[in-house]
Amino acid sequence: MQTGEAAAAIGGPLLAGTVVSLIRFQGVVLIDALTFVAGMVTLALVKIPHQAVAVKARVSLWREAGTGFQYVRQRTGLFGLLGVYGYVHFVFAMASVLIAPLLLSFSTAAMLGLQYAISGCGLLVGGLAIASTGGPKKQVRAVLVYTLLGGLCLAAHGLKPSFTLIATFGFLLFMTLPVVDASHTSIWQKKVPSHLQGRCFAIQQFLLNIAMAMGFALAGPLSDRVFEPLMTTGGLLAHSVGAIIGAGPGRGIGLMFICLGMSMALVALSAYCSTAIREIDEMQDESFSAVAVGSALNGESTVVAQF
């Protein structure tokens, strides 16, 4: 999956400039809409085998969602790991908004597209490495260590206005993402019972979407009203921090990248110091065990037989 996403991340930015010049923005939007049609056709053609073995009472959506959240909340390690993963998504949401103005403050739109493609190459390399090796055996350690390394690479984006620097560390940053994503997903697949995975993954995605929405919403105001004014010529930090990373247009965003990246690394380091998170790999695998689970929902019992 990461390899497929990487191929799109490489080809998309490289083709974008050419396509816009040939068919204009309206044509690009039409192509984008047709990709959703292709997705719907694909889903319509797929036959999903019937594997229902549960006799379930009628339960409200909120009750079902609450069951998934309760399962995760009661397991301190999984809940803490979800917090780390959520913060990573929050940081990346902000970075995805800010990378374009950071590069355009000293470079061109063509170079921006090239940088996107280079980052996509990093995603491709990381995805192929996971596919060929199966990933690290200690998956929690992989999530935390590669999150820490990714944070340091993200922080390096803001050190100076250099395309080579940003392209290099962007490549390395995106190499870490498949390791983090694949390891995190595998942990949840193994540690959450099959009959709860739908609910638990839905809760996870819901919380991640909230984190990303917050990142998208905060990136612009923090950049325009806080960090950029601090780093303009004559700004409050222009003669202190500015003496190290430079002052002027775009350097406030550079400082934001440093702060975001270092905070991401510190969150990973703090999580590693948590015994509950660090020892998740030692938890009993739940997803492939044969169990019978009885629970009372709305006064009636639900019996689930897992195979």
Per-residue model confidence as pLDDT tens digits over 112-171: 888 988 998 998 899 889 888 888 888 999 999 999 999 999 999 999 999 999 999 999
Task: Say if CB 257 and CB 95 are below 8 A apart.
Answer: yes
pLDDT in tens, 56-75: 556 666 777 777 788 888 88
pLDDT at 305 over 70: no
String of DSSP letters for 166-226: HHHHHHHHHHHHHHHHHHHHHHHHHHS-HHHHHHHHHHHHHHHHHHHHHHHHHHHHHIIII
User: DSSP character for 304?
Assistant: E
Q: What is the pLDDT of residue 196?
A: 84
Q: Which of 213, 204, 206, 159 is nearest to 185 (CA)?
A: 204
Q: What is the pLDDT of residue 71?
A: 83
Q: What is the pLDDT of residue 199?
A: 84
pLDDT in tens, 186-238: 998 888 888 888 888 888 898 999 999 999 999 999 999 999 999 998 899 99
Q: What is the pLDDT of residue 55?
A: 54
- Give the other-Cβ count within 10 Å of 295's Cβ: 14
pTM, 2 dp: 0.80
Q: Whole-number mean pLDDT of the chain? A: 85
Q: What is the pLDDT of residue 52?
A: 57
Could you tell me the domains of the chain? 2-305 (1.20.1250)
Residue 88's SS3 state is helix
Q: Which of 179, 76, 172, 83 is nearest to 127 (CA)?
A: 179
pLDDT in tens, 7-53: 777 777 777 767 877 888 888 889 889 999 999 999 999 987 776 55
Which residues neighbour 36 within 8 Å (Cβ) at sequence distance 6 or greater?
A: none
Phi, psi of 294 (to 5 degrees): -110, 135
Q: Which helix (H) or strand (E) holds 294?
A: strand 292-297
Q: What is the pLDDT of residue 243?
A: 93
Which residues neighbour 127 within 8 Å (Cβ) at sequence distance 6 or greater?
A: 1, 2, 3, 5, 6, 178
